[in-house]
Amino acid sequence: MLSKLFMVWILLFASTIVQATQNNTPQRIIALAPHIVENLYAIGAGERIVGTVEYADYPAAAKQIPRVGGYHGLQFEKVLALRPDLVIVWKNGSKETDIEKLTTLGIPVAYSESKDITQVPHELLKLGELTGLESRAKALADEFMKDYNKLTERYQNQPQLDVFYQLWPSPLMTINGKTWIHQTLTTCGVRNVFADAATEYPQISLENVIAKHPQVIIIPNERATKQPEKVDWQLWTEIPAVKHQKYIEVDADLLHRFSTRMLTGVSDMCDKLHAVRTYYGNRQ
């Protein structure tokens, strides 16, 4: 049975919904993914965010937003206490049971469904419609797509480069050809040596990497509170990337989030990969 306090929160929440409906646009938003927070700030709706999840840390103001949960689920008493008139969820990052409970409680829910880079402009336009900030959202969406097309054109038809993307060191994991990270590699005009893996984020062995002979190893820099164990690649000099000391670090917060900053991370990675491509080209 719901507690009396919980019932009071539900009544307050219902009042907020009525007010939001009258105003037509949500004024108290809970954003359940870091990239949603970033994109709301980008279109000018950041001040409307009253709650979010762990790791939502950009821009700096986002660090002050109250947390209502994270990877392990939502704290519904906190959600209701914030009286949101809209919750924006990322299906890939939220528990299905939590989403169902939100709708059961009558909380308006919108979805972020980005699956690749080219859907970021669509996400911006959708957020613009939800918040009544269509003009700013459209300008950002157009700018994003223009910059993406330029980046793609710059690195196409370049000499091939075989790349291993070390998604996680322990257990050792990578990405296949159906992931958005793979698409960023394609944008840079390089070949993902595990593109044909059976699963999107396969767990692999060192022997698998050795067999693929990658020319460069990409290591995303995770800002985690607990740093994972590192792979001592120096033990495996039969790998061309190790023999020639060709490792590049990339910013995971940029590359792994569907935000307007994604292209900054992709551009940085492409530039670093092109330098490696030039190195091998000069050796021929």
Whether residue 196 has pLDDT greater than 70: yes
Band (pLDDT 50/70/90 cuts) for residue 2 is very low
CB 65 within 8 A of CB 57: no
Q: What is the mean pLDDT of residues 248-275?
A: 95
pLDDT at 224: 58
pLDDT at 18: 46
Q: Whole-angstrom Cα distance, residue 8 to residue 81?
A: 9
3-state DSSP call for residue 239? coil
pLDDT at 8: 47
CB 165 within 8 A of CB 200: no
Question: What domains, with CATH codes, occur in the chain?
Answer: 4-141 (3.40.50.1980), 158-283 (3.40.50.1980)
CB 99 within 8 A of CB 89: yes
Band (pLDDT 50/70/90 cuts) for residue 225 is low
CA dihedral 155, 161, 182, 206 (to 10 degrees): -160
Eight-class DSSP state of 62: G
Report which of residues 115 and 74 the model is more confident about. 74
Q: What is the mean pLDDT of residues 112-123?
A: 89
Lowest mean pLDDT among 84-93, 208-217, 231-240, 259-268: 84-93
